Amino acid sequence: MTDASRGGDGQSDLDLIARWRRGDERAAAELVARHAQALARFAGSFGAADDVDDLVQDTFVRAFQSLDGFRGESSFRTWLFTIERRLLLDRRRAEKRRPIRVEVQEGDASTEYDALDRMVAGEAAGRVQQAMKQLSPTQREVFTLRVAQGLSYREIAELVGTTEGAARVHYHNAMRAVKEYIDD
């Protein structure tokens, strides 16, 4: 496996974190530059569309404010994913509690997103998306983390809060279900 936590300048995430702790703001900017797009993709793969910038920003702020909790047992990116996932779940819970007021108008961000999504993703990708809707929430999450983010089973297990073996089983079950849907 290659080390995704080392940038082109040869500095690891841990080096940058140490510099940030000493007050070097450029180190923070470098960490953001290194992981922001991955966090945006991660958020997007879980359905976040409108407020991805805010979500990514909040994730970094939360991470930098609680760096003492980062023990370095997983990669920094996996830790960021964990924080972002929690933020996403919190937001979804908050949205569920909020009174529903749906006033969809032409030109809404969500409408644009769907149209853009369909255009870019193509027919094959559209079929995969439909297939993924048949999956259980856990299967979908594990499949997304494995396919969209390329995380290892160990990282997925840490993120989702399960075992490595269970993550592997969820992934293969999800893959089988997607294949069956597409074959039908």
* Min separation Cβ 97 and another protein, Å: 26
The total of other beta-carbon atoms located within 10 Å of residue 124's CB is 9
In this complex, which beta carbon is closest to another protein, that of residue 89 or of residue 125?
125
Token representation of residue 52: 């991805």
Burial class, 18, CB count within 10 angstroms (exposed 0-12 / middle 13-18 / buried 19+): middle
Contact residues for another protein, defined by CB under 8 A: 1-2, 4, 20, 23, 25, 28-29, 32-33, 36-37, 40-41, 43-45, 49, 52-53, 56-57, 60-61, 64-65, 113, 116-117, 120-122, 124-129, 132, 143-144, 146-150, 152-153, 168, 172, 175-176, 178-179, 182-183
The number of CA neighbours under 13 Å toward the Cβ of 17 is 21
* Per-residue three-class SS string for 56-100: HHHHHHHHHHCHHHCCCCCCHHHHHHHHHHHHHHHHHHHHHHCCC
* Min separation Cβ 156 and another protein, Å: 11
* Min separation Cβ 123 and another protein, Å: 10
* Min separation Cβ 45 and another protein, Å: 4
In this complex, which beta carbon is closest to another protein, that of residue 82 or of residue 178?
178
